Chain A
């Protein structure tokens, strides 16, 4: 099973199996959850999901980068980046899951 990529289809299927809603409504709810997380983050607000992890926005300052091909200096503009910090519970789950098969 390892090495498979899970997408929206499998997540909304799981939602569909869990609650007795239509497939359509299940996928709309998944979309809604993702859009609320996106909205919060784009306002600069952190999102904390207990026993999963937290998403926060970090402001990066301007710095001078280099085009690795030409060696030319290029300014890297100040920007915002998203940081995901997994919770201890998630880290534990991942370690107990993956170490057993290696």
Chain B
């Protein structure tokens, strides 16, 4: 399922709403999660899962082709931990 298919499904279930508004709603949800993570916050959706940010320390990497040492600076990566209910549904 893609984002546009998701919007279409929500739209079918809510014929009284404009598709344009549903698009804004779905976009808002993911933008809100993105903003929270960009500020270093965590997003917890009970039963679904939690989004958080993990820090990767700077390290000395190597160019695999030349073997040359390269500095890889510290970075932050988004992480998702599946919620208990969702995990159970996947295995039901």
Contacts and interface: CB of A to CB of B under 8 A. Distances in A.
Interface hub of B3, B25, B37 (most chain A Cβ within 10 A): B25
Nearest to B26: A33
A3 B34 contact: no
A34 interface: yes
B62 interface: no
A32 B10 contact: yes
Interface residues of B, number: 49
Interface centre among A36, A57, A96 (most CB of B within 10 A): A36
A82 B89 CA distance: 11
A47 B28 contact: no
B86 to A, nearest CB: 6
Interface residues of A, number: 55
A80 B90 contact: yes
B26 to A, nearest CB: 6
Given A7-B45, A11-B32, A36-B1, A102 B74 contact: yes
18 contacts: A5-B42, A5-B43, A6-B33, A6-B42, A14-B28, A29-B22, A32-B14, A38-B86, A41-B86, A48-B3, A52-B33, A80-B91, A82-B82, A93-B37, A95-B75, A96-B38, A97-B40, A98-B38
Interface of B: 1-3, 6, 9-10, 13-14, 17, 21-22, 24-26, 28-30, 32-34, 36-46, 48-49, 53, 55, 74-80, 82, 86-87, 89-92
